Amino acid sequence: MVKPVPLVRVEGPSRERGRAYGRLAGDRIQKSLDIYMPAFAERAGLEWPQVKGLARQFAAKMADFDPDIVVEMEAIAQGAEQEFEAIVALNSRTELLFWAGKRSSESNADGCTSVACLEEATRDGHLLMGQNWDWLPPCRDSVIVLAMKPDIGPAILTLVEAGIVCRIGLNGAGLGVVGNFLQSDQDIGREGIPIAIIRRRILTRERLSLALGDVLRTPRAFSSNHVLAQTPGEAIDLETSPDDAFPLFPEQGILVHSNHFRSLVAQAKLKDTGVIQFPDSLYRDHRVRSALAPKRGSITVTDLQEALRDHYGVPESVCRHVPEKVEKGTICTVASVVMDVTAGKLWAAPGPVCENDYSQYTLE
Ligand SMILES: [Zn+2]
């Protein structure tokens, strides 16, 4: 069994909490950079000076979108004694890894299976969400849980790769977000707001309508799936590409998504290039849905954890394992998260989820 995912707790205005984040997570931020600096070169053909140039372009866009997040990233860089561009590059890593239409089967992407269960489907009437995050095996050692109490807005609890401002999480206003890699023929390397920055904006919001508006209105550089939910009682999935957004809704209180576009409008309008990389996506969402559907009305945190340990199709299963013959770009479940959004609690387990226990983290 490996050690629990470390918790980093920060508070205060953006500069103060950014510095604390950088200082407290400095070792793991270095691990993130050790993973991505060579990956940008190998996968996207981007040497470090080019990465820095693109990071500055992304930072300029981010400054227009949210000047505060740029201040926070500057402070993370100071606290971790890293270059500002390095922190921006981490927060733009999906966009950079697939820059300029690098979409070969060699440049595998993060797979994921995510789930939301509305109050009507759960035993205690709480909103539950969860996700297995499948990505490069070394990322297991760069992941942290970040608990943040900003001077303005709700408190935030999020599982991230160290140095990144948001991935999977919940906030003190009863709003949660999980999400999945998607890829389409619209992902050709363009400027826009990176996914991590959009996710963070979602968790600064007190109302679902504002968070949905953030996803819909923000210029996007890359396709992504965002599952947004707020207690009491609503969850909406937005399958997004740079040009479009396609909504999906829970079926009898349960919503599950993996790595292919499910909206029929999306399937007609764009070419899904992600499902070619992840054919197993076509059954992963079904596996989790069919594990939970018979328990509708009595679903618990433990049920979500068990559903995320499913091994159908192993190693390309919901609990994703490294195949015996390791190939370049091999991915596995590096972390699993289940959240009780109503109670402000998050449970995280390092992968493989079937071999490790979940640890509990709280918002306050
Ligand atoms: Zn397993």
Contact 231, 342 (CB under 8 A): yes
Domains in the chain: how many in total? 2
Confidence at residue 108, expressed as pLDDT on a 0 to 100 scale: 61
Same domain? For 97 and 201 the reply is: no
Is 13 a residue whose pLDDT tops 80? yes
Query: DSSP per residue over 38-52, as a string?
Result: HHHHHHH---HHHHH
Select from 70, 101, 132 the last residue of a domain: 101
Q: How many angstroms is it from 310 CA to the middle of ligand 1?
A: 7
Q: How many angstroms is it from 178 CA to the middle of ligand 1?
A: 21
Same domain? For 53 and 124 the reply is: no
Same domain? For 287 and 182 the reply is: yes
Is 100 a residue whose pLDDT tops 70? no
Same domain? For 93 and 202 the reply is: no
Same domain? For 129 and 250 the reply is: yes
* Position 1 in a domain: no
Is 156 a residue whose pLDDT tops 70? yes
Select from 46, 76, 101 the last residue of a domain: 101
Same domain? For 68 and 195 the reply is: no
The C-alpha atoms of residue 237 and residue 114 are separated, in whole angstroms, by 11
| CATH classification of the domain holding 82 | 1.10.10.2120
What are phi and psi for residue 143, nearest 5 degrees? Answer: -85, 145
Structure tokens, 271 = 């070419």
Q: How many angstroms is it from 308 CA to the middle of ligand 1?
A: 9
The C-alpha atoms of residue 137 and residue 276 are separated, in whole angstroms, by 21
Tens digits of residue pLDDT in 169-224: 999 999 999 999 999 998 877 778 999 999 999 999 999 999 999 999 999 888 99
* Position 270 in a domain: yes
Strand ranges across the sheet with 245-248 = 7-12, 143-150, 156-161, 168-171, 175-181, 224-230, 234-240, 245-248
CA distances from 222 to 44, 151, 161 (A): 15, 31, 19
Look at residues 216, 220, 127, 203 and name the one whose alpha carbon lies nearest to residue 168.
203
Same domain? For 216 and 239 the reply is: yes
Q: How many angstroms is it from 284 CA to the middle of ligand 1?
A: 13
Same domain? For 29 and 172 the reply is: no
Confidence at residue 44, expressed as pLDDT on a 0 to 100 scale: 85
* Position 228 in a domain: yes
Confidence at residue 104, expressed as pLDDT on a 0 to 100 scale: 42
Q: How many angstroms is it from 357 CA to the middle of ligand 1?
A: 12
Q: How many angstroms is it from 333 CA to the middle of ligand 1?
A: 8
Strands (E), the chain: 7-12, 111-117, 128-135, 143-150, 156-161, 168-171, 175-181, 224-230, 234-240, 245-248, 254-257, 332-340, 345-350, 359-362
Q: How many angstroms is it from 321 CA to the middle of ligand 1?
A: 6
Same domain? For 233 and 324 the reply is: yes
Tens digits of residue pLDDT in 215-272: 999 998 889 999 999 999 899 999 999 999 999 999 999 999 999 999 999 999 999 9
Confidence at residue 34, expressed as pLDDT on a 0 to 100 scale: 96
Question: Apex CA 82: angle with CA 76 and CA 86, to 5°?
Answer: 85
Question: What sign does the dihedral 172-175-181-184 (CA atoms) show?
Answer: negative
Question: What sign does the dihedral 38-41-46-49 (CA atoms) show?
Answer: positive
| CATH classification of the domain holding 134 | 3.60.60.10
Q: How many angstroms is it from 332 CA to the middle of ligand 1?
A: 9
* Position 93 in a domain: yes
* Position 307 in a domain: yes
Tens digits of residue pLDDT in 37-91: 999 998 888 999 999 999 999 999 999 999 999 999 999 999 999 999 999 999 9
Look at residues 149, 163, 35 and name the one whose alpha carbon lies nearest to residue 90.
163
Confidence of residue 293 (pLDDT cuts 50, 70, 90): very high
Q: How many angstroms is it from 42 CA to the middle of ligand 1?
A: 29
Is 101 a residue whose pLDDT tops 60? no
Length of the chain equals 364
**Single-letter amino acid, residue 82:** Q
Same domain? For 215 and 334 the reply is: yes
Q: What percentage of the chain carries pLDDT values higher than 70? A: 97
- Residues of the domain holding 142: 111-362
What are phi and psi for residue 332, nearest 5 degrees? Answer: -150, 170
Confidence of residue 310 (pLDDT cuts 50, 70, 90): very high
The C-alpha atoms of residue 94 and residue 100 are separated, in whole angstroms, by 12
* Position 178 in a domain: yes
Q: How many alpha carbons fall within 13 Å on the CB side of residue 3? A: 7
* Position 285 in a domain: yes
Mean pLDDT computed over 307-326 = 93
Same domain? For 95 and 120 the reply is: no
Confidence of residue 105 (pLDDT cuts 50, 70, 90): very low
Same domain? For 278 and 232 the reply is: yes
Confidence at residue 106, expressed as pLDDT on a 0 to 100 scale: 46
* Position 248 in a domain: yes
